[in-house]
Amino acid sequence: MPDSIQQEARQILDTLAFTPFEQCQPLGHNFNTIPSRPGLYAVRHRVDGLLYIGKTKSLRGRFSGGHKAFL
């Protein structure tokens, strides 16, 4: 993998992992506010920290269909 791709991947992972919890979008039972476009996402817990990082073709679909990080 070229260095530039590795650097970009590291930046994305660092952003997902180290964004302060207060700046994250809270999830509730209404997923209509989540866009249905493709994307990268991170599931974080206020106390336990980062639980999961993933990618999907539909962010809304990923969460409305259930997600293993919620178990």
- pLDDT at residue 2, as a whole number: 75
- Contact yes or no for 5/15 (Cβ under 8 A): no
Closest C-alpha to 62, from 28, 26, 37: 37
Q: Domain-by-domain residue ranges, the chain? A: 3-70
Each residue's pLDDT tens digit, 40-56: 888 888 888 888 888 89
Mean of per-residue pLDDT scores for the chain? 83
What does pLDDT average to in each consecutive run of 10 residues of the chain (71 residues)? 84 85 80 86 83 88 75 54
Confidence (pTM): 0.65
Instruction: Determine the Cα angle at 15 with ends 68 and 67, to 5°.
Output: 10
